[in-house]
Chain A
Amino acid sequence: MEPMEVSVTDEEYMMTKAKSFLETDCFRCRSWLLTAKSMFPNNFGIHFECYEIEKNLRCVQRAARCFSCLLEDFPNEAILWKEIENFTPILCMDISCLSEEQTFFREMFSALPLSIQQKLLSVCAERSEDTMEHCRLVLLLLNRFPQSSTELALKLMDTMITAEKHNQCPNVINCYRKILVCDLGPLLVSTSTLNQKNLYKMLTKTTEFYITYAMGGHSIIQNLPDTENYIKTPWEDLFASCERIGKKLSWELRSVLSQSDKRKAWKKVSSFAKKFVIASNNSELSKQLVFCGMILFVRHVFDYNKSLKIENGSEYLLVKAIKGPKVQINKPPLKQAVLSIATKLNESLIGITDDSSEVLDHFKMAFNYWELLTNKEPMCTDYWKLSAQIKVDTFIGQFLNDIEFYQGKYKNLFKAVPVHESIRKSLSLVTLYYCVQEFKKCTEHIFEVVDQIESLSLYGSVSTEIANPPEDREMYYIQIARLPVLQYCVKIMVQILYNQLSNYPSTSDILIGHLLVLSQMVWPEGKAIAEDMYNHIGKLPLFTYPQFPAYITNIDIIEHFMAMFMENDKCVLNVFPCVASSLSPRISTRGAGKGVKEEFRSALKKQVKRWSEPVDETMLLFFKNERESLMKTATLMEKSLTF
């Protein structure tokens, strides 16, 4: 019973009949279509129409069956290939943003027999002229059919690297690199298609990409759909990728990347370095160590940078610890004193103005890796090579600056001060000028700080670390907040004034007064300063400090003045301008100056009432009003050092 020649009308009759039931009974329609197809097996029109009817009915399975029959029986029909070109790009799109029809195509493709899927993908990938589309089709092919050609995968790797060059991507964070690293990389590594050279290439590309992404604060990668244009966990992804590649390179050290205990990781890395690398000078081992070590190092720097900027909007700045006040400032040394870092980090040298230990921990860990990677051969050479390749230095500037600060290379750091006007910039300059003993400039910047301090919303708290740092403290992280910063500036001023006072005791009244005022900010440690000042005053016949009522609110100091006034009759205290007019040299003579005495007493009583005023407000007022005299003192003091 061979099929016979049938007139065109028969075919048309069948199709019309079939389509007449499309609305009322789709299965009756399908039965007709099946009959028509089997009656006219060579009529592409009928077969294609059947496919389109199933497509419009959104019946995935049947459409897929029709489609694979079409491909098998009519592989050269142009209309069919047009349809294929319509839907292959959809396979590369993101599922979440597909239209209903696009979703249908996607599902239909998955319902096709695997051999047909593979054939379609490879043909379409070859035909595709757009690099991204080509790459996605090949990726799809590799993902679905891992056994398909490994050459294809290698070719794709080259294509992506060339595409990155050809499209002149301004930085590492571009769509080609992302696909190379995030999509193609794991695939290539898992199928063992890469040789050692290519593995290193992939490792470098991967490390560079993730480090730049995480450290550069990138978020959106251009030219990619919304769901894949960002990386949620760059570090975790970097660790995972490197571990994967490390496994292929049989790196013993790869496990440190996923080690959650950072100290244990460091122990492993350092003992690995000591045991194998330094002794053997083996370049493979050194590469392994440098890759793992550098990734962990940069991660610690990342954590360090993050901990420097804390959640509530404030940040930390590494500054020189201010000792004293009784520290004799000598002439500036000709050569910079440089702390040796060849030895281990001396932890007691660095402190912090509040309880947070994170900053110190991260600095210490980063420092350890830095020291390991940059101080000994053969790691040193490898590190600098790799670091130049990945441009690590651009991301760890803050850390490098802080290392220089730790080493005492202050002069280099002036160029690293932030460009924009900010309290951070002014405070950096304060501490740097202090370190190089340019007290005039230092004081100038203290005034800059004071001018900006009112814009700080964060109060912070006063700190004994600033008021009275431990003996061996050389520097500490200061929280950029109103009270600690002000306290720090006060501490420097105290030191300058104190020095001036001890050098030129003759011009003492105003210095003594100012020091009394400043001591309030570092109370109770300031008590020692105040007591010293009382001694000075006790030796004077007349102590004139008319600013007293404006700035002295400390109850201890006021009480002491009262006591001095009552007990001491050698010194005349000319501290209340209102009382001063009637002052005579023998004020304390009984009876004669009784009225004055009463006046003085009531002025002090009035002053007592101000004890609860915030000391920082008083300090700010003091700095504003006394700028001239403070500047003068600082200038004199600097001159006395230079000559």
Chain B
Amino acid sequence: MDYNEVKVNLRKFGFPLSTVNALNQIQTIINGETSRKQHLNEDLAMDLISEFIFCETNEEGKSTKPMSRIRYLELLVMICEYFNKTKIKPDNDNCCGDTALNAIFMTLFPQFGAPPQRTNMLVSLVSLAISTYSNLILQSAGVQMQQLGCSSKYSSQLADGLVKKFFTFISSNSSSLHLLPQNAPLFTANLMTSLSELYFNTKTPDTNMIIKEPPRVVLETVVQWINSDPCLCFTAHYTDLQRALPSGAIPMAATLPFLGLFRWCFFAPLCVKNNNDLELYSELHCALIESVMQGWKVYSEQNPRVSRPYTLSVHSVVPQQLKDLIEETIKLNDPVTMHAVEIVVERLTQSIHAAIISDTIFGNKQDLVNQLESLPENDVLKTLIKRIQV
């Protein structure tokens, strides 16, 4: 069918039929015919998406008014249903979803080339998918996040959008959040990684060193997720992304949420003032070291052929900002803050020990010792250094 013919045909229908037909058309374009030149196909798909699905452009390719709220909702539900009606192949696990759907998802919500309002659409769609247990969308989103990198702008925007537009309006007791690790483990793990980068992070271009805390509901949810399954944090590592991607795509290396979440635990005693939150960080820390020690052990016993992941890296485990913060705090010489420093060192020691025990630490032994010796003195730390040096 001719390039223009497709559009003319689709224009014969109004919403919602035009959208349904467009979705089917895109499916055949992306996953079906290979005779056409690939870039032409992609262009056509992009055009169809912006004109018939998100209604961002009109017939002439000019931008249109934003759609009404009702239409917006109808469209979300329609996309959800489109993904839900697809039957998953029996050999698929609940991580990668359906390869064909993943390709459509990537075209619908690409990293580049889409207008900014589509990011909002993505956040709304994922929120709806979490609430309605539309697992295939979540699985596709998880694959896309990993492929683009969990700390990429795309993933960060999605994670931040979810926090602002979804988490803050939902209780951490909600069963849709509780069941997320079972329904879409890859998405959950990657979302945790993205979330972990959003807070207690000074890498952001902001040089003002404003350290952001996660909202309580996010903290509670993350703790609950990790406790529900000690292997969850390793999901991105052992997922075979290749199977999830369209042919020819090269899978990106996985990042795990450990480093970012451990950083939360290290910064929290020095930055967080709320006692209830501090207790939660204690629980998070406990859950993390348990996951580091148990999770990989459990998984690798069942799957001996998967390579070993790294939970911590010698070079980033004690960030400079943390060292600075500790030094500043020590200068205050206040017994309360000194106690906080003690906790930080204690957690550092325990997490490094956990990584050593599980043999998932990356880096050089001497570098690690040097890093540790730069920290304030502490009995447990000494024991650990002794053990490392043997």
- Chain A residues within CB distance 8 Å of chain B: 1-4, 6, 10, 13-14, 17, 25, 27-28, 30-32, 34-35, 38-39
Contacts and interface: CB of A to CB of B under 8 A. Distances in A.
B353 A31 contact: no
B233 to A, nearest CB: 16
Given A4-B390, A38-B353, A31 B289 contact: yes
Contacts of A27: 279, 282-283, 285-286
29 contacts: A1-B356, A1-B387, A1-B388, A2-B390, A3-B387, A4-B386, A4-B390, A6-B383, A10-B383, A14-B380, A25-B279, A25-B282, A27-B279, A27-B285, A27-B286, A30-B290, A31-B289, A31-B347, A32-B350, A34-B293, A34-B354, A35-B289, A35-B353, A35-B354, A35-B380, A38-B353, A38-B354, A38-B357, A39-B387
B87 to A, nearest CB: 32
Contacts of B390: 2, 4
A28 B282 contact: yes
Contacts of A31: 282, 285-286, 289, 346-347, 350
A285 to B, nearest CB: 49
Interface in B348-389: 349-350, 353-354, 356-357, 359, 365, 379-380, 383, 386-388
A30 B349 CA distance: 14
A146 B359 CA distance: 40
Nearest to A35: B350
A10 B282 CA distance: 23
Of B354, B357, B388, which is in contact with the most chain A CB atoms at under 10 Å from its CB? B357
Nearest to A3: B387
Contacts of B357: 3, 38-39
**Minimum-distance CB pairs A-B, first 5:** A27-B282, A27-B286, A27-B283, A38-B357, A31-B286
Of B349, B388, B390, which is in contact with the most chain A CB atoms at under 10 Å from its CB? B390
Contact of B293 (A6, A10, A28, A38): A38
A39 B354 CA distance: 9
Contacts of B290: 30, 34
Contacts of B356: 1
B350 A1 contact: no
Nearest to B287: A27
B339 to A, nearest CB: 11
B229 to A, nearest CB: 12
A597 to B, nearest CB: 104
A2 to B, nearest CB: 7
Given A1-B356, A2-B390, A10-B383, A34 B289 contact: yes
Nearest to A17: B380
B282 to A, nearest CB: 4
Contacts of A30: 286, 290
A25 B282 CA distance: 8
A588 to B, nearest CB: 108
Contacts of A6: 383, 387
Of B354, B365, B387, B388, which is in contact with the most chain A CB atoms at under 10 Å from its CB? B387
A6 B390 CA distance: 12
Contacts of A39: 353, 357, 387
A6 B285 CA distance: 25
Given A31-B350, A35-B353, 9 more contacts: A4-B387, A6-B383, A27-B282, A31-B346, A32-B350, A35-B350, A35-B380, A38-B293, A38-B354
Nearest to B347: A31
A30 B388 CA distance: 23
A84 to B, nearest CB: 23
A584 to B, nearest CB: 111
A34 B387 contact: no
A10 B390 CA distance: 16
Contacts of A38: 293, 353-354, 357
B320 to A, nearest CB: 25
A13 B279 CA distance: 23
A2 B357 CA distance: 8
